[in-house]
Structure 1
C-alpha cells in the first residue's frame, strides 16, 4: 500500500474519493457473488482475500490520517499554549478538529459496510469459514 500523506488527510474530497475507491468491492458485492462459484471453497477464499485486503487498506488509511491530524493538532496546541490569543491558530485548530471528526466517522461507515458485505458473503459462501485472525481484526474496535 502506498504511503498516506498529510495532503491525503487534509483534502477531505480526496480522502473520501480514496475510501470510495477502496469500497468498490463492497459496493459491487452482490454482482461479484453472483459471478463467483460459491460452491467452491477456493473461489470463496480468493474473493474473501480481496475483501479482507480492502478492509485492511481502509483501516490503514483512516488510522494513518488520524495519527497525522493528531500530531498536527498537538503542535498547534503547544503553539496556542505559548500564545493563547492567536485567533488564527484557534481557527486552524477548529478546522483540523472538524476534519479529524469527519475522518474518525469513517469507522462508523466502515462498520456498516463490513457488516453488510460480510452478511452477503457468509450467506453466499456457506462452505467457507472466516479465519479467526480476521474475526479478531473486525472486532478489535468494538
Structure 2
C-alpha cells in the first residue's frame, strides 16, 4: 500500500488519484464478477477479500489524512491564540480546513461506492455470505 503521509494529504490531486487507484476494483466489479465463477464459494470469497482490502485501504487513507490535518489545524489554532492578527496563518488555516472538508467528503463517496459494489457482489455471489463483523465495519459511520 502506498504510504499515506502529510504530503499525500496536502496534495489533493495525489490524494484523489490514490483513491481512484483504490477504487479500481469497484469500478470494474461487473467485468471482474463476469469472469469469476460466482457459483464457487471459494472464488467469491477470494474476490470478496480483494474488495474488503480495497475498502480498508481507502478507510485508512481517509482516516489518516483527517488525523494529520486535524493535528496541524490544532497547532495553527494555538499559534493563532498567540497572534490573532496573523493573516498568513489565517489563510493557511482556511486552506487546510478546505482540504479537510474535501477529504472528509470522501466518506460520502465511499458509502455510495460500497453500497453499489456490495449490491452487485451480493446479487452475483449469492452463495457467499458476508460476515456480521464486516457488515458492522461497512455500516460503522452510518
TM over 0.5: yes
RMSD: 0.6
TM-score, normalisation: structure 1: 0.99
CA distance in 1, matches of 2:132, 2:44: 16
Q: Which residue of 2 aligns with 1:112?
A: 112
Using the TM superposition, give the Cα deviation of residue 2 of structure 1 relative to its aligned residue in structure 2, in angstroms. 4.4
Aligned positions, number: 142
CA distance in 1, matches of 2:43, 2:112: 25
Superposition misfits of 4+ residues, deviation over 3 angstroms = none
CA distance in 2, matches of 1:115, 1:76: 37
List runs of 5+ in structure 1 lacking aligned partners. none
Q: Which residue of 2 aligns with 1:14?
A: 14
CA distance in 1, matches of 2:4, 2:112: 24
List runs of 5+ in structure 2 lacking aligned partners. none
CA distance in 2, matches of 1:60, 1:132: 20
Q: Which residue of 2 aligns with 1:133?
A: 133
Query: Cα deviations across residues 108-140 of structure 1 (Å, max 9, x unaligned)?
Result: 000000000000000000010001110010011
Query: Cα deviations across residues 20-61 of structure 1 (Å, max 9, x unaligned)?
Result: 000000000000010000000000000000000000000000
Q: Which residue of 2 aligns with 1:85?
A: 85
Q: Which residue of 2 aligns with 1:94?
A: 94
TM-score, normalisation: structure 2: 0.99
Q: Which residue of 1 aligns with 2:3?
A: 3
